[in-house]
Amino acid sequence: MAKIHESIEIKASIDTIHALLTTPKKIVLWYDGVDAVQPSSDYPAVNSSIEGAMKILAVELKAKQTVLENKPGLLSYQLEGMANGTQAWRTTDLGGGKVRLEVDTDFNLVGGVFGKLAEPMAIQMLGASARKSLENIKKMAEGH
């Protein structure tokens, strides 16, 4: 199973960051490579879902994310599509008006041998996308 972990410090409240993470119209503004999402009517409730697509090397990867947990400090998903696994967004209050936002993604690419061969490149590309997404969230949360 491939693993990606990225984090960033942000001068904002946990509530501000959580709102960015769970508002579909905002998600497309910060999530690197995602142009559109389709949430279920009850999103972001537990067991609700949001579907979208991300382009990596001109290949569109479609995914469905089902909410496993949604509480202050934690938003986690089950991932299904070209990659199956989990993703968790965690916020930690650091004091002084700062928060650490972390994202952990554990996944397996579908496609058997081809998926295994593509995994190192996918880790590199998805890691870069996660870093860019965190930077975008920081800019939005801090009002830049």
> Quick one: pLDDT at residue 115?
58
Question: Largest Cα–Cα distance in the chain?
Answer: 49
> Quick one: pLDDT at residue 62?
84
Residue with tokens 């904002």, as numbered in its chain: 12
Has residue 16 got a pLDDT over 70? yes
**pLDDT (tens digit per residue) in 25-65:** 999 999 998 989 999 999 999 999 999 988 766 667 789 99
> Quick one: pLDDT at residue 15?
95
What number is the average pLDDT over the span 9-21?
A: 97
> Quick one: pLDDT at residue 83?
81
Instruction: Give the Cβ contact number of residue 41 at 10 Å.
Output: 6
List Cβ neighbours of 112 (8 Å cut-off, separation of 6 or more).
none
> Quick one: pLDDT at residue 117?
63
Answer CATH for 2-141 from 3.30.530.20, 3.40.640.10, 2.40.40.20, 3.30.413.10: 3.30.530.20
State the DSSP H helix or E strand holding residue 131, giving kind and residue range, or none if neither: helix 112-141
> Quick one: pLDDT at residue 77?
98
Where does the pLDDT of residue 113 fall: very low under 50, low under 70, confident under 90, or very high at 90 and above?
low
By the 8 A CB rule, do 107 and 50 touch?
no
**pLDDT (tens digit per residue) in 57-96:** 666 778 999 999 999 899 999 999 888 999 999 999 999 9
Whole-model pTM over 0.85: yes
- What is d(CA 76, CA 82) in angstroms, rounded to the nearest whole number? 18
Residue 43 C-alpha from the chain's centroid: 15
- What is d(CA 84, CA 67) in angstroms, rounded to the nearest whole number? 14
Residue with tokens 């041998």, as numbered in its chain: 113
- What is d(CA 45, CA 63) in angstroms, rounded to the nearest whole number? 18
